[in-house]
Structure 1
Amino acid sequence: MSNELTNRDFWKNYWENKTGLAFKVPANYTFHKIIEKITTGNKVKSAIELGGFPGYYAIFLKKYFGVDATLFDYYIHTGVLDEVLDANGLRRTDIGVIEGDLFKIQPEKRYDLVLSAGLIEHFNNTKDIIARHLPFLDPGGTLLITLPNFTGVNGWLQRKYDADNYSKHNISSMDPQKLADYCRQLGLQNVKACYYGKFSVWLENKASQPRSIKVLFKLLWLAGKVATKIVPVESKNLSPYIVVTATKPN
C-alpha cells in the first residue's frame, strides 16, 4: 500500500497482541443507528467493510440485517477471525473474506454499501484513500466512512499519553468540512459529514499507564459524560468520532 502511516507488520503485531477480540457484537454496536437507517432505507443487500479486520461491522450487517457482507483487509489473522465469528454464531462461509492491497485490487463485484471504520486516518493522502472506496461501490449505493476525532479532548489525551499511537494517525484528515469537500470533488452526491457521539476518550495503552494517569483518565471521562448529558451536543472538542455519508450517482 502507498502513502500509509502504518504497514502490514504493524497490523500483524497489533492484532496478534490484542486481547478480548472475540465478543458477541451487540445490536446497539457503535454507529448502529446510522447503519440501520442506511440498510433499511436503501434496502441494502450487499456490503463490504474495508480495512475492517476482525470484521465486526460485516458481522453486524450479516447477523442483524441478513446482508451479504464481506470483510476486506490488508492483513487477516484467520485464527482471530474464526474466534470472532464463532462468538457470534457464524462460520467463515457466512461472510466473504478478502485479504489484499486496496491500492492494487480490482474489485470483482460492487456493493450497495461500502463502509470503513477507522481506516482513512492512517493515510497521508485523504482524498486518495476515499477514492479507493469507490470502485467497490455500485451506482446508487451508499458510502459510509467513520474515523476517530483526535482534534479535541480525546486527541489531547492520545497525544500526551500515547504518542506512538497518535503518530499513526493523520490528524489533518479529521475535518468534516474537508472530508465533505473531497467527496464532492470525487463526484459523490448527498454528502454529509459531521462530528458524532456525545463524549468518549480512550487509550490503546491504558493498561500499562501508571495509576495517576488512570485516575486522570477516569476523571476526564466522568466530566465529559456529565457535561454532554447536561448539554447534549456533538462537537469538535468533545465528540469521539467523525461520520461521512454519501451516495454514488446512478
Structure 2
Amino acid sequence: MENLLTDRAFWVNYWEQKPDLSVNIPANYMFHEQLASIIKREKVKTAIELGGFPGYYAVFLKKYFNLDVTLLDYFVHQPITSKLLQKNGLEEKDIRILETDLFKYTPEQQYDLVLSFGLIEHFNDTADIIERHINFVRPGGTLFITLPNFRALNGWFQKRFDPDNYDKHNIDCMDPRLLARICEEAGLEVLQSRYFGNFSLWLHDEEQKPLALRLLKRTLWLAGKILTKVFPFNSRQLSPYIILEAKKT
C-alpha cells in the first residue's frame, strides 16, 4: 500500500464526479499517430490497456483498428463502459474487461501491444509498475506508456492552485531518461522516451474552481498556445506529456 498514491475510494469519487463519460472517440484522438504507426509497423493484433477505465483507448483501438482488445482496471463501472461502447457503435463482446488488482493479477496471456495512459505516475515505485506492464508484453511486443509532465509549466500550475491533485502524482518518475533506463535494465529496446506536445494547461474539476482561477488558466492557456503555434517544439518546460515506447526482445 505504501506504493500507492491513490486508493479505490479516490477513483470511485473521481469518476462519480465526472459528467457524461460516454463520448464519441474521434479518429484523431490523442496519440493516434503514434499508435497507428506502432500497429502498422509491428502488425499488432492484440492489445491491453492497463488502468484505462472507462476504456477510451480500448474503444479507440477496437473502433479504428479492429484489434483484439482487453481493458484492465481495478475499478470498472460496467454501465458507463457499456454506454461508451454503444456511443461508438460497439457491443459489449467487442472488448474484454478485467476488473482486478494489477498487483495481485497474474497475466493469463501476453499481448502484441501493452498500453497505459496516466497510470504509472500514481505509484511511488516506478520500476515496479513498469515491470508489471512488461509482464503483459509478449516477446517482440511493444510497450507504450504516456504520463503527464508536471515538471513543466502545467505542473507548477497544478502545484500552486490544485495541490491536492498534484500530491496524487509521483513527480520523480516524470523523467524520460529514468523511464528509458528502467526499460533498458529490464531488457527492453527503447524506441523513444521523450517530452511530447507543444503546450497545454488543465485543472482537475475546473468547473468547480473560482472564476478568477479559471480566467487565469484560460489566459495562460491562450498565451502558451499562441507561443507554441508560432514556435512549435517539445520541451521539459512546456510539453504537457511524456511518452515511452519500448520493444520486448
Give the alignment's TM-score, normalised by structure 1: 0.97
Report what 1:164 is aligned to. Answer: 164
Over 2 Å off, 4+ runs? none
1:164-243 alignment runs, 5 A limit: 164-243=164-243
Q: Deviations over 1:29-88 (max 9, x none)?
A: 000000000011111000000000011111100000010011000110111111111111
Report what 2:98 is aligned to. Answer: 98
Separation in structure 1 between the aligned mates of residue 12 and residue 81 of structure 2, nearest angstrom = 13
Aligned pairs, number: 249
1:83 aligns with 2:78: no
- CA RMSD for the aligned pairs? 1.0
Q: Deviations over 1:174-210 (max 9, x none)?
A: 0011111111011111342000011111001211122
Separation in structure 2 between the aligned mates of residue 160 and residue 186 of structure 1, nearest angstrom = 36
CA displacement at 1:2 relative to structure 2: 5.8
- SS of the equivalent of 2:135 reads helix
Q: Is the 8 A contact 2:70 2:98 kept in 1?
A: yes
1:30 aligns with 2:25: no
Question: Percent same amino acid at aligned positions?
Answer: 55
Q: Deviations over 1:183-238 (max 9, x none)?
A: 10111113420000111110012111222111111110011001111111001111
Separation in structure 2 between the aligned mates of residue 72 and residue 16 of structure 1, nearest angstrom = 19
Give the alignment's TM-score, normalised by structure 2: 0.98
Amino acid at match of 1:219: T
- SS of the equivalent of 2:97 reads strand
1:34-45 alignment runs, 5 A limit: 34-45=34-45
Report what 2:61 is aligned to. Answer: 61
Q: Is the 8 A contact 1:183 1:191 kept in 2?
A: no
The runs of 5 or more residues in structure 2 that have no matched partner are: none
Q: Is the 8 A contact 1:162 1:205 kept in 2?
A: no
Q: Is the 8 A contact 1:2 1:103 kept in 2?
A: no
**Stretch of structure 1 that moved more, 232-241 or 12-21:** 12-21
The runs of 5 or more residues in structure 1 that have no matched partner are: none
Report what 1:142 is aligned to. Answer: 142
Report what 2:112 is aligned to. Answer: 112
- SS of the equivalent of 2:142 reads strand
1:12 aligns with 2:21: no
